[in-house]
Amino acid sequence: MLIPAAYALLKIGRVVWMPVDGSLHGPAADRLMWWNLVALCAIAVAGHLWLAFAMLRRKPAKRSVPAMARWVLLAGFCGMYAWMALTAQNLWAETRYEGPLQTAMHVEVVGVQFQWYFRYPGPDATYGVTRPRLVNAAAGNPLGIDPRDANGRDDVVSSVLVLPAGREVELRLRSLDVMHGFFIPGMRLKEDAIPGMTLHVHFTPEKVGTYPILCSQVCGLGHDRMQARLMVVSPADYAAWIAGRERAREAEE
Amino acid sequence: MPATFTRNPVDVERNDTGIGGKPPYDRRPTGGGGDGENWENHPQGRGGPRELLIRYRLGLMFALSGDLMFFVALVSAFFVRQSTGHFDVYNHYTTDWRSLAVPPILWLNTAVLLLSSVTMEIARRQLFHEIDVMEEWLGLGRPAVKRAAPWLIATLGLGLTFLVGQWVAWEQLVQQGYLLSAPNPSSNFFYLITGIHGLHLVVGVLALMAALMGLFTLKKVEFRQIAVDSVAWYWHTMGIFWAFLFVLLVFFQ
Amino acid sequence: MRRALGKVFTTDHRRLGVMYLLLALAAVAVGTTLSLLMRFHRVWPNAVIPGFGVMKPEDYLALVTMHGTLMVFFVLTVAPQSGFANLVLPGQIGARGMAFPKINATSFWLTLVSFLVLISAAHLTAGGAPISGWTSYPPLSALPAAGPGQGLGMDLWLVSIGIFCVAAWLSALNMLATIVGKRRAGMTWARLPMTVWSWLVASVLTLLAFVVLLAAVGMLFSDRHFGTNFFIPMGDMINGQVVGHGNGSPMLWLQLFWFFGHPEVYIAVLPGMGLATSLFANFSRRRVAGYKMMAGMLVAIGLLGLLVWGHHMFVSGINPYAGTAFAAVTMAIAVPSTAEVIGWLATLWGGGLRLRTPMLFALGFLSFFIAGGLTGPILAQPSLDVYLHNTFFVVAHFHLIMAMAGVFGVFAGVYYWFPLMTGRLMNETLGKVHFWVSLIAAYGTFLPMHFAGLAGEPRHYDRLTGPAMNFTALLPLERGITYSALLLAAAQGIFLWNVFVSARRGRVAGVNPWESTTLEWENGEVPSLIERGPYEYELPQGEGGYHPQWESPVKQE
């Protein structure tokens, strides 16, 4: 039964695995994934060996498996599950129980059928007010930022997420229409963007590079094309980029 | 012999010979006849009418526990919805849940429904009154039917009064501007909950009419008992459900 | 004419069981065809498919929705729970019939109506089938403007599911009243066959879960047509139109839906577990290792199954502490599941198995239960689920544990109980070929999907190339999956052939062809008192010695 799988793996020449990780918390998650997969694969193989042995054994055994052995085995599994739950819980608590650092930069992620928008709060570090009625992508205001609100004047809206390497970032996720799933495989990060709610996640990109951003929650007929890019750049490049965007925005006005 | 209502109904319940798994009460080694385990003498063939009654009660109990879960779902949705809100244009978290003053006629309706439960119970007990039932069983007359019918008709009247009262309550709310489609979730839920419960009562009224007809058309006293008994338990359950829903709507707005 | 009508509108539970199975067969045929179209499109996205033309993204999503709905509701709920239970449950507890035969028949006809409404959603409406998946998350499912198929197609979907919920509720209360109230004297809880235990637990779950879905479906319908705002949030806009004027919460739907959706998974797989236990005992001629523990663990799985719905929402903005709690309960459900597997393996350990076709399929069930179940603890860990959620890893997981294990359980049941339906046995050679080809093809289809998931490919993607991410490295893998799926579907041709030929010309089964001990195989009069346990096999004492439940202990002395 494992033959076709092995064949498929041989045929593609290399095992398909998770994409290269670029985040701070990623290596720990990857290690956890690796150990989990190894342990559970080993158990699956052991279970099937047992099964094969039972199927091939022609002459019936005199004695059955004592009840004690079954309970001991079950206790062993309980221990393993508890260990898995605890190690995973540590990581979950590390990434989700606490908010971001004071020094974290803030970016807002907004999902619209079928496009991701990223809003930087600008020098005043405050997002401007948005109103659904003002949304007009064709007129350059895809998020409906209210022009009368001073906080919104310096907001920069981009369709590419550009982040400096090594600095924690706090994302605030929103959706204007239906549920979307904000997924950066290279950052081991996923959180849904739910209309009517504002969800927060934070992470630290470490490695410079370009990472795809996907939509992981079916959102309509353009679901599979709802993709964007995360560009992790050096802090200097980031400063230059955001300054450029600010100038471009001012020039527009 | 049909089931009757005697001084100690518990014994009659236990006397059932049909429920699976257990020996007949009077043939259990610990009680009844006292001449040891005598399962073999258990009568063959269809269980008695008491078994049929118990079966209908059992089925009704399962049906109503599913129904209870249905209302639990609605009520938990009510509480979840009550606690959700959104960020308004000034970034304040606000809720649009505006408590709705329940029309006073609801108190009257509640009293009517509870009263109808009392009349229903009186009608039900008439059909289990030992002497009358024996008389009917022997074909000497129909005293139980004669006694039960007025109470059933009274229940029917009270049930219809309740439904009309609910309708009046809706009319009053509509006049106050609380529509089903109002942007106020409290209003949405009021109509949803009272509407669903009203639908259940419509079913109850139809069942009551059927039972009333059955009282005069069904040939066997056992089936007359079953018809009235099932409707009665359904009716009581709807009364209890309403009591809880009423408390929810009045005090947990 | 009247007799023909009488045959169709029957209240006989055995006939109804067969009708349920035929309904499931029709649904699985449609569902499989849809999945093959999906697989084909993923590998050759620009190919012209007869009847379809070049598949558009909305077509693909409609296929996904219909495939999921058909398979989950009309195959995995209908066949093992309603089909087989109607066929043998009254027999197994020594009852003459179901507690409420008319309610039972009503339930079947409602299920059929629900099926027809669902099919009409796909074929008769202008926009086609809904595209929001079988989970139908609002606001996508709440707003007709959100996509093609979200208009009338979605309405019909909701109506169909609503009817199905009512049918499931009726069926469950009938089943429970039967199991609790109609057991023969002496058929105590400790003498119930494991299948009855599994139907009991699954019926309780059905009773509690489907009504919650009914409430949710009703509220969504009200949002769509009566202007309420249960699920549509404030300021929600579609196509530049602001449509949300109250603040409903899509999360409310997620909570209600998954409170139904997770127990539903257990409703699908529990009957298979009960049947596998019975078959392992029967074909190894050995008592079930730890009968009471096995029954207790089934109940434990059912109870815990009601408490784990939150693990579908780890990344949907639930409180991280709630995430921890749901992760812990989810991990806890692995314990009774492991206990079941250990019990099965302990029963089988002694060897000397009679490897007849039903047994092979039960063993296949066990294999899928292990392989698919073990990825459960991975997905139960929120920190790993953050990466794997909604990727093909999840698709692989639930197809192995729910779909393949469930379907192999159904196959085991069909091969095992075929004599009760037709009086004949199915062909063993064809059965064995069917088993091995299906097993290999099923693994070939679903094992590689784990790797697509690890590579990060999300569900509901209709092609491998996107503006930012390219999964073209997966193409050989995807091709392999598609070929395997084709093989898997083709293997079912052997099964159909076997069913039709054996029903007419198969070997006559005779009384109790598998030398079983449970009551449905008793041909004559079931005694008025049951005095034996369900699995009194005695292999070591003499080849194949056994004591059926209809025997009294005295006769054997």
Which comes out higher in pLDDT, residue C49 or A47? A47
CA atoms of C219 and C227, how far apart (whole Å)? 11
Q: What is the pLDDT of residue B253?
A: 76
Q: What is the pLDDT of residue B101?
A: 79
In chain B, residues with a C-beta closer than 8 Å to the C-beta of C233 are 86
Helical spans, DSSP H, in C124-237: 152-181, 194-225
CB contact under 8 A, C346 and A176: no
Is the confidence at residue A86, as pLDDT, over 60?
yes
Strand A160-164 relative to strand A228-233: parallel, antiparallel, unpaired? parallel
Q: What is the pLDDT of residue B85?
A: 63
Interface test with A, best of B80, B81, B88, B89 (most A CBs within 10 A): B89
CB contact under 8 A, C230 and B63: no
CA distance C171 to chain A (A): 33
Q: What is the 3-state secondary structure (H, E, C) of B139-157?
A: CCCCHHHHHHHHHHHHHHH
CB contact under 8 A, B69 and C255: no
Q: Which of A129, A196, A198 sits opposite B89 (nearest CB)?
A: A129
Q: What is the pLDDT of residue B67?
A: 94
CB contact under 8 A, A129 and B90: yes
Q: Where are the domains of chain A?
A: 2-96, 105-252
Q: How far is CA A187 from CA A141, A156, B8, C157, C297, in A?
A: 29, 23, 72, 37, 39
Hey, which residues does A232 pair with through a beta bridge?
A163, A209
- DSSP letter at C77? T
- pLDDT band (50, 70, 90) for residue A51: very high
Those of residues 138-167 in A touching chain B at CB distance below 8 A are 146
Chains touching chain C through at least 3 C-beta pairs below 8 angstroms are A, B
Residue C168 near residue C115, CB atoms below 8 Å: no
Q: What is the pLDDT of residue C313?
A: 92
Chain B residue closest to C104 (CA)? B59
Chain B residue closest to A126 (CA)? B91
**Tokens of residue C117, six digits:** 């409404």
Residue A223 forms contact with C (CB below 8 Å): yes
Amino acid at C66: M
In chain C, residues with a C-beta closer than 8 Å to the C-beta of A203 are none
Residues of C264-275 as b/e, b for ≥16 C-beta within 10 angstroms?
bbbbbbbbbbbb
**Tokens of residue C203, six digits:** 């019926």
* C138 φ, ψ (degrees, to nearest 5): -80, 165
Residue C411 near residue C495, CB atoms below 8 Å: yes
Taking only the tens place, the pLDDT of each residue in B184-219 is: 778 888 899 999 999 999 999 999 999 999 988 988
Q: What is the pLDDT of residue B48?
A: 61
Average pLDDT over residues A223-234: 94
Amino acid at B44: Q
**Tokens of residue A78, six digits:** 């309980």
Q: What is the pLDDT of residue A35?
A: 92
Q: Among B148, B128, B123, which Cα is nearest to B50's?
A: B128
Percentage of residues of chain A with pLDDT beyond 90: 63
Q: What is the pLDDT of residue A12?
A: 54
- Residue located via tokens 């489907």: C210
Q: What is the pLDDT of residue B41?
A: 45
CA atoms of C369 and C402, how far apart (whole Å)? 8
Residue C41 near residue C133, CB atoms below 8 Å: no
Is the confidence at residue B220, as pLDDT, over 60?
yes
CB contact under 8 A, A146 and B89: yes
Average pLDDT over residues B232-251: 93
Which domains does chain B carry?
49-84+97-251 (1.20.120.80)
Q: What is the pLDDT of residue A36?
A: 93
Per residue of chain C (557 residues), what is the pLDDT tens digit? 777 887 778 889 999 999 999 999 999 999 999 999 999 999 998 888 877 788 888 889 999 999 999 999 999 999 999 999 999 999 999 888 899 999 999 999 999 999 999 999 877 667 788 999 999 999 999 998 888 888 899 999 999 999 999 999 999 999 999 999 888 888 999 999 999 999 999 999 999 999 999 999 999 999 999 888 889 888 888 887 888 777 788 999 999 999 999 999 999 999 999 999 999 999 988 889 889 999 999 999 999 999 999 999 999 988 889 999 999 999 999 999 999 999 999 999 888 889 999 999 999 999 999 999 999 999 999 999 999 999 999 999 999 999 999 999 999 999 999 999 999 999 999 999 999 999 999 999 999 999 999 999 999 998 888 888 888 888 888 999 999 999 999 999 999 999 999 999 999 988 889 999 999 998 777 888 888 889 988 765 556 588 888 887 764 44
CA distance A45 to chain B (A): 42
Residue A199 forms contact with C (CB below 8 Å): yes
CA atoms of B25 and C525, how far apart (whole Å)? 25
Q: What is the pLDDT of residue C235?
A: 83
Is the confidence at residue A132, as pLDDT, over 90?
no
Taking only the tens place, the pLDDT of each residue in A135-179 is: 888 888 889 898 888 888 889 999 999 999 999 999 999 999 999
Q: Among A213, A98, A196, which Cα is nearest to A162's?
A: A213
Q: What is the pLDDT of residue C556?
A: 47
Average pLDDT over residues B14-39: 38
E-assigned strand segments in chain B: 86-87, 93-94
Q: What is the pLDDT of residue C386?
A: 94
In chain B, residues with a C-beta closer than 8 Å to the C-beta of C219 are 77, 192
From the CA atom positions of chain B, what is the Rg in Å?
Answer: 24
Q: What is the pLDDT of residue B5?
A: 55
Q: What is the pLDDT of residue B40?
A: 43
CB contact under 8 A, B86 and A196: yes
Q: How many CB atoms lie within 10 A of CB C47?
A: 11
CA atoms of A195 and C80, how far apart (whole Å)? 38
When the candidates are 3.40.50.670, 2.60.40.420, 3.40.190.10, 3.40.50.300, the CATH number that belongs to A105-252 is 2.60.40.420
Average pLDDT over residues B86-114: 78
Q: What is the DSSP string of B36-88?
A: ---GGGSPPSS--HHHHHHHHHHHHHHHHHHHHHHHHHHHHHHHHHHH--EE-
> Can you give the pTM of this predicted structure?
0.91
* ipTM of the shown complex: 0.93
CA atoms of C209 and C454, how far apart (whole Å)? 32
Q: What is the pLDDT of residue B82?
A: 80
Beta-carbon contacts below 8 Å between A and B: 8
Q: Among C305, C326, C318, C304, which Cα is nearest to C379's?
A: C326
If phi > 0 it is left, if psi is from -120 to 50 it is alpha, else beta; for residue B177 that is: left
Residue A47 forms contact with C (CB below 8 Å): yes
CB contact under 8 A, B89 and A196: no
CA atoms of C193 and C519, how far apart (whole Å)? 9
Is the confidence at residue A10, as pLDDT, over 80?
no
**Tokens of residue C146, six digits:** 């959100």
CA atoms of C69 and C115, how far apart (whole Å)? 10
Q: What is the pLDDT of residue A133?
A: 86
